[in-house]
Amino acid sequence: MPGLTIVWFRRDLRLHDHPALVEALREHERVVPLFVLDDALLEGRYRSPTRVAFMLGCLRDLDAALRERGSRLVVRHGRPEHVVRDLARDLGAAAVHWTSDVSPYARRRDRRVTEALAEDGVVARPHGGGYLRDPSKPRTKGGRPFTVFSPFHRHIAGLGGRTVHRAPASLPPLPRGLEPGAIPDDPREGVVPEPAVEAGEAAARRALERFLREPVDHYADRQDGMARVGTSVLSPYLRWGCLSARECEERALRKGGRGAAAWVRQLAWRDFYAHVLLLHPDVLDLEFQERYRRTLAWSGDEATLAAWREGRTGYPLVDAGMRQLARTGWMHNRARLVTGSFLTKDLHHDWRAGERHFAELLLDGEPAQNNGNWQWIASTGVDPAPAFRRMFNPTLQARKFDPEARYLRRWVPELERVPLDRVFEPWTMTEDEQRAAGCVIGRDYPGPIVDHAAERRVALERYRRASPDDAS
């Protein structure tokens, strides 16, 4: 099919292994790359100055890569169903290609764009490419969607993956007279001071190379360790599509080993939660498990919620995780589990409050992952387990996964001089020890705002009352 087409970039801000771009170049002589600054993206339910700043950096990098190949990124601001249609009409485009997404908003948006294009006889061409496999396809032997991860993982591992594509060496120039538009400056308010990673595909590919060179070999043994980062920290790049999950999978499996297999298993969790959200969109507002809908009693204590958000609960691992999130827009996965458990099981706050806070700050925050993880730790979601199995003692977790307290001291500097035998429970120091360490409890660092053992019993009773079958 000769002529011109548009490739509408969204959460696929890369040129390597981009099925929509590959197909557009195969079918058409001219390809116009487009990004739409949608107000729903900038100011909607999941508004995040942190993520917007990262996205803009990714767009600048994408535009630079397109320029190197002879093209440019066209940037427009407005409602996609108007912007995409108007540009297609102005250019006489035959089709518009894009990478499919799974969130309810994305699906509604894409239907509106498809309908608007159809009125002008323009073909909408959605493609896969955001996940390891097509999230809509997996089914159990009984023909139902999966709700437990392990069988889902076994299923998609047996499906085989699509071909991984190289980035195009060159691209056709934009049509004469087409103004590319400008990528806005970063928002100033609310941006994290020390982003965990540098934005863009170029930085993402360097980070992937470093991870696959050696750290992936130790991933299975070090992913929970907190003294040094044993995880890939590639999640922000996967969220914005600066890296292809399928390429990551192929390259890791090609290298082989326990670490690579463990990492690919983690990539499959992205597919699992995408599968769940696509086929159960009501989980964004409701517990997946109906027995917990409107039956769990949640706390309305704003003081404890604020203490959790600000990293001043008195439990060092909880506070370290929350402060890391505030400063970098990223949090170690073990800390995510502990902070989530603490909010929902120790402070008894609604998981949706945690989901909203993480959505505001996480560079890798996306609806499917964020919702799935919060419902998992709150024991209300898919992959179910009794509530008591997902109650994490923050002190024991710190001792196990940060035995030398390096993570704690880095993010909670008040604890820098606290002796190792006291740092996990600084409130147990004597007054003399507190003065010697320069960490007076209640002045320099808070005492624990709740007693974990007591709140664990309260949580178990709350879940028992909500669903008697979930008693420990």
* Element of type H or E holding 358: helix 351-361
* DSSP-derived secondary structure for 33-76: EEEEE-HHHHHSTT--HHHHHHHHHHHHHHHHHHHHTT---EEE
Distance of CA 181 to the CA centre of its chain: 29
Higher pLDDT, 42 or 83: 83
Q: 156: how many CB neighbours lie within 10 A of its CB?
A: 22
pLDDT for the residue numbered 224 = 81
Is residue 216 scored above 80 in pLDDT?
yes
pLDDT at 223 over 90: no
Write out pLDDT tens, residues 123-136: 999 999 999 999 99
Of 50, 57, 46, 40, the closest CA to residue 361 belongs to 50
Q: What pLDDT does residue 45 have?
A: 72
Supply the pLDDT for residue 421.
Answer: 96
Model confidence at 469, pLDDT cuts 50, 70, 90, reads low
At 2 the pLDDT is: 65
Q: What's the pLDDT tens digit per position in 418-437?
A: 999 999 999 999 999 999 99
For the residues 440-469, what does the mean pLDDT come to? 95
- How confident is the model at residue 42, as a pLDDT? 78
The alpha helices in 184-280, defined as continuous H runs, are 201-213, 219-222, 235-239, 245-255, 258-279
Q: Which domains does the chain have, with CATH numbers?
A: 4-129 (3.40.50.620), 130-161+200-279 (1.25.40.80), 290-470 (1.10.579.10)
Mean of pLDDT over the chain = 95
How distant, in Å, are the alpha carbons of 376, 456, 459 from that of 464? Answer: 17, 12, 8
- Rounded CA-CA distance 387/209 in Å is 39
Lowest mean pLDDT among 47-51, 110-114, 257-261, 455-459: 47-51
φ and ψ of 3, to 5 deg = 105, -155
Q: pLDDT-derived band of residue 221, with 50, 70 and 90 as boundaries?
A: confident
Residue 471, pLDDT score: 45
45: burial class by Cβ within 10 Å (0-12, 13-18, 19+)? Answer: exposed
Dist CA 203 CA 318 (whole Å): 30
What pLDDT is recorded for position 105? 95
Q: What is the pLDDT of residues 79-119, one digit of tens each?
A: 999 999 999 999 999 999 999 999 999 999 999 999 999 99
Check if the beta carbon of residue 280 is closer than 8 Å to that of residue 371.
no
Confidence (pLDDT) at 69: 98
Count Cβ atoms below 10 Å from residue 210 Cβ, excluding itself: 13
Give the confidence band of 470 by pLDDT, cuts at 50, 70, 90: low
Cβ proximity of 172 and 70 under 8 Å: yes
138-195 pLDDT per residue, tens: 999 999 999 999 999 999 999 989 999 999 999 999 999 999 999 998 876 778 999 9
pTM of the full predicted structure? Answer: 0.95
pLDDT of amino acid 108 = 97
pLDDT at 1 over 70: no
Sheet holding 30-37, edge to edge: 74-77, 30-37, 4-9, 95-99, 123-127
In whole angstroms, what is the distance from residue 191 CA to residue 314 CA? Answer: 26
Rg (CA), the chain: 24
pLDDT of residue 472: 45
Q: What is the pLDDT of residues 374-413, one digit of tens each?
A: 999 999 999 888 888 889 999 999 999 999 999 999 999 9
Tokens of 401: 């996964």
